[in-house]
């Protein structure tokens, strides 16, 4: 939900890529370029972009020309501002890749493929992911006419163009993410229906933790192979690493010695837990090295040979450890894996080449199949003494995915651990309110001295107070110490501020006035009432919202064709809807909202349990989507004057919590 609101651009994806300041600056550059000859063509861009920072500094004119010609061969086509922005984004990412400036600490699993626009794809990775898709989606009723996909062809990139396969793959990775009733699955989709699927896919991918900063719906349409493969790889990675946490696999507690280490283990990203598990098993073997990555440390296949001997000694081959040639050893390792039912995702060549993506997938598959961990009840029962706050866990997930969606320099895996040095919080604040951070006094990671972290976090708290957050008894050191309650309190107010600012920045509706929770509540009730429904919500914690009917009627009001009411359980007068039906409605609401273009991170439980914070974000996201639609395209009978009357009620007062009672207690 970051970025500049659509006055200068109408594409929702583009709106999320830039701050207000950046967009105005680029508009000035674009106008200047076009003024030189009266128009601007694709062929002009390479020379005229020389004055742009990063793009002009790190790529020669010939490199820019070759890159642009590869993407857009029609050099005489005239360029509008939105097209210029798309070219700029791709060139910027390409230049950043060349200089090595992307995030240093982000996950290695093809994150680069979604952000650096490398134009080569790994045929081995493609074949591996095609095999995964063929295996997990073979029984899908809609896709069975396309499967199995031929890995040696480019059929995969044609099939993903309608968005259906990727939506289905997301549901395999994290079941229930997308309500399949919301997917357009006709045999022949028109461009509008296809775009809806792409939008649903991208917003859902963000909601399960994928990085999609430089992927837009146009990339689906044009079949950008490196981007599609990068997204597929991230989705598959999430599926393969799903069990690498104490909730899904409590036996992982065996990896730590005492209770003090459990919290640390719980905060580790799945890849780190997988490495720790692998080294834990290798300690049972004669292998003395520590494996610290899934590339150079496993290229000789020795670690794999010892690991499989520990996990499945009955299938071992003594010659595996005696052969001198790494390639031959890798082949024997895969034969061992095959005998234990784990030969998947890579070849012997991939091992000796050190492919990090496929090696990680291979080890994760071994873990899923045979982790070799104890099932001692004594150790597992210890976990029962740990606090298990489902609400805290859900909120941490929402804020983590929201922060990651902003495109900061570092991908975070746990807000309580990864925000403690203050740097990502400062970056997030700068995205939400450009220019508000004093970078001259900020300390860039890696930060070894504790007081430097406190300095960053003190500025975070100071800015929060400047933005009128309620920060009673919160100090920078609380963030450094990882105080969960206070960190969640700060992040909620920051996310809420971001939403209200986005709405405020729609100046042609709000006239620059502050928008409050009361205004959002009033807008939603007015839209539903104007559509002829009697439903209403009294506040964002109104328990009647648990059945989801109000939000379905709100979505139907802002886009009449969005809800298929024949698929919805409405219940009858005086009879409440069953819990399972409420959850089905909630899942449908979230998928429909994402399909429209709302970037939301809540779970169905947040609706059925009426989590007032998440209910506010959902309502505000729908309002933001509706108000930023061009007037002539607005899917509503509401006239322009009626729109004006709704927003004229916006007050000049500071943020008001009376509607949601959402200030942190």
Of 346, 380, 414, the one marking the end of a domain is 380
DSSP string, 263-299: HHHHHS-HHHHHHHHHHHHHTTSS--PPP--SSGGGT
Give mean pLDDT, residues 227-251. Answer: 90
Please tell me the predicted confidence (pLDDT) of residue 538: 96
Residue 588: which CATH number? 1.10.418.10
**Is 641 within the bounds of a domain?**
no
Same domain, 545 and 582: yes
On whether both 129 and 222 belong to a single domain, the answer is yes
Q: Could you tell me if 595 and 539 lie in one domain? A: yes
User: CA torsion sign, 414 to 418 to 419 to 425?
Assistant: negative
Domain final position from 350, 380, 410 = 380
Query: How confident is the model at residue 387, as a pLDDT?
Result: 54
3-state secondary structure of 568: coil
pLDDT band at 72 (very low <50, low <70, confident <90, very high): confident
The verdict on residue 169 lying in a domain is yes
Q: Look at 508 and 363; give whichever has higher pLDDT.
A: 363
Tell me the mean pLDDT in the region 38-64: 77
For the stretch 194-218, pLDDT in tens is 999 999 999 999 999 998 877 888 8
> Is the torsion defined by CA of 249, 251, 254, 257 positive or negative?
positive
536 and 598 both lie in a single domain: yes
pLDDT of 662? 36
280 in a domain, yes or no? Answer: yes
pLDDT, tens only, 96-133 = 665 544 333 333 333 333 333 334 678 899 999 999 99
pLDDT attached to residue 94: 74
Give pLDDT, residue 543.
94
Neighbours of 451 (CB within 10 A): 11
Q: State the residue range of the domain holding 16.
A: 12-99
Residue 163 sits in the same domain as residue 228: yes
Those residues with Cβ within 8 angstroms of residue 554's Cβ, 6 or more apart along the chain or in another chain: 524, 527, 528, 619, 622
Give the number of domains in the chain.
5
Residue 163 is assigned to a structural domain of this protein: yes
pLDDT of residue 144: 87
Tokens, residue 487: 């960190």
Alpha carbon distance 279, 284 (integer Å)? 9
DSSP string of 292-346?
A: --SSGGGTTSHHHHHHHHHH-GGG--GGGGT---HHHHHHHHHHHHHHTT---S-
- Answer yes or no: is 6 within a domain: no
| pLDDT value, residue 336 | 95
Mean pLDDT, rounded, of the chain? 83
Residue 380: what pLDDT?
55
Domain match, 598 and 540 both: yes
**Residues 361 and 261 both lie in one domain:** yes
Same-domain pairing of 538 and 433: no
Between 665 and 474, the higher pLDDT residue: 474
CA distance 513 to 653: 9
pLDDT above 80: residue 376: no
Task: Report the pLDDT value the prediction gives residue 379, as an integer from 0 to 100.
Answer: 55
| Structure tokens belonging to residue 594 | 């994402």
Based on the domain organization, do 552 and 465 belong to the same domain? Answer: no
113 belongs to a structural domain: no
Do 407 and 526 belong together in one domain?
no
Residue 410 has pLDDT above 50, yes or no: yes
**65, two tokens:** 């020309």
Would you say 3 and 15 are in contact if contact means Cβ atoms under 8 Å apart?
yes
Cα–Cα distance measured from residue 89 to residue 150, given in angstroms and rounded to the nearest whole number: 33
Please report whether residue 599 resides in a domain: yes
Query: What tokens appear for 315 in the block?
Result: 């299938």
Residues 137 and 195 in one domain: yes
Q: At what angle do helices 191-207 and 225-240 cross, to 10 degrees?
A: 40
Q: Which of the listed residues 380, 398, 425 is the one where a domain comes to its end?
A: 380
Q: Which carries the bigger pLDDT value, residue 449 or residue 74? A: 449
More confident residue, 16 or 306: 306
Q: For residue 383, name the pLDDT band (cuts at 50, 70, 90).
A: low
Q: Is residue 1 part of a domain?
A: no
Q: Is the domain of 24 the same as that of 53?
A: yes
| Distance of alpha carbon 158 from alpha carbon 142, whole angstroms | 16
């Amino acid at each position: 939900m970051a970025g500049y609101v659509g006055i200068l651009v109408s594409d929702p994806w583009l709106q999320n890529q830039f701050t207000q300041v950046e967009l105005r600056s680029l508009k000035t550059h674009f106008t200047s370029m076009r003024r030189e000859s009266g128009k601007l063509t694709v062929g002009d861009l390479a020379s005229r972009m020389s004055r742009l920072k990063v793009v002009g500094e790190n790529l020669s004119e010939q490199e820019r020309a070759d890159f642009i010609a590869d993407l857009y061969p029609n050099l005489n086509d005239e360029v509008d501002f939105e097209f210029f922005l798309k070219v700029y984004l791709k060139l910027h990412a390409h230049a950043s890749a060349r200089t090595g400036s992307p995030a240093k600490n982000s996950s290695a699993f093809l994150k680069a493929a979604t952000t650096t626009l490398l134009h080569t794809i790994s045929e081995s990775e493609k074949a591996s992911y095609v095999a995964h898709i063929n295996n997990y989606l073979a029984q899908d009723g809609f896709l069975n006419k396309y499967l199995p996909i031929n890995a040696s062809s480019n059929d995969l990139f044609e099939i993903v163009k309608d968005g259906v396969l990727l939506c289905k793959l997301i549901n395999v990775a994290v079941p229930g993410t997308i309500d399949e009733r919301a997917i357009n699955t006709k045999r022949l989709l028109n461009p509008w229906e296809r775009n809806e699927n792409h939008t649903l896919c991208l917003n859902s991918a963000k909601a399960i933790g994928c990085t999609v900063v430089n992927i837009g719906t146009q990339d689906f349409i044009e079949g950008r192979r490196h981007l599609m493969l990068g997204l597929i790889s991230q989705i598959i990675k999430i599926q393969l690493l799903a069990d690498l946490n104490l909730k899904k696999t409590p036996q992982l507690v065996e990896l730590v010695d005492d209770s003090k280490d459990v919290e640390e283990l719980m905060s580790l990203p799945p890849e780190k837990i997988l490495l720790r598990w692998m080294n834990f098993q290798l300690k049972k073997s004669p292998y003395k090295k520590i494996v610290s990555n899934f590339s150079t440390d496993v290229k000789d296949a020795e670690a794999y040979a010892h690991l499989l001997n520990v996990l499945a000694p009955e299938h071992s081959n003594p010659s595996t450890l005696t052969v001198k040639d790494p390639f031959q050893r890798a082949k024997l390792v895969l034969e061992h894996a095959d005998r234990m039912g784990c030969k998947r995702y890579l070849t012997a060549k991939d091992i000796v080449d050190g492919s990090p993506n496929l090696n990680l997938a291979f080890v994760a598959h071994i873990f899923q199949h045979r982790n070799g961990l104890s099932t001692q009840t004594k150790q597992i029962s210890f976990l029962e003494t740990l606090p298990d706050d489902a609400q805290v866990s859900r909120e941490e997930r929402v804020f983590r995915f929201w922060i990651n969606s902003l495109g900061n320099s570092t991908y975070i895996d746990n807000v309580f651990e990864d925000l403690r040095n203050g740097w990502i919080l400062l970056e997030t604040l700068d995205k939400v309110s450009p220019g508000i951070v004093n970078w001259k006094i900020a300390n860039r990671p890696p930060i070894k001295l504790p007081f430097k972290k406190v300095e960053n976090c003190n500025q975070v708290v100071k800015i929060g107070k400047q933005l009128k957050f309620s920060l009673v008894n919160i100090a920078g050191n609380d963030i450094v110490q990882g105080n969960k309650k206070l960190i969640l309190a700060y992040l909620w107010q920051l996310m809420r501020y971001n939403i209200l600012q986005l709405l405020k920045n729609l100046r042609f509706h709000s006239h620059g006035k502050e928008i409050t929770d009361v205004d959002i509540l009033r807008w939603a009730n007015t839209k539903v009432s104007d559509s002829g429904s009697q439903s209403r919500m009294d506040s964002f914690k109104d328990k009647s919202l648990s059945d989801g009917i109000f939000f379905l009627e709100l979505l139907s009001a802002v886009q009449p064709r969005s809800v298929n009411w024949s698929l919805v359980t409405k219940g009858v007068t005086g009879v409440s809807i069953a819990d399972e039906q409420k959850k089905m409605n909630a899942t449908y609401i979230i998928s429909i909202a994402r399909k429209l273009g709302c970037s939301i991170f809540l779970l169905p439980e947040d609706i059925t349990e009426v989590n007032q914070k998440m209910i506010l974000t959902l309502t505000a996201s729908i309002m933001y989507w509706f108000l930023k639609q061009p007037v002539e395209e607005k899917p509503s009978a509401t006239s322009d004057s009626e729109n004006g009357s709704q927003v004229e009620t916006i007050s000049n007062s500071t943020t008001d919590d009376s509607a949601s009672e959402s200030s942190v207690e």
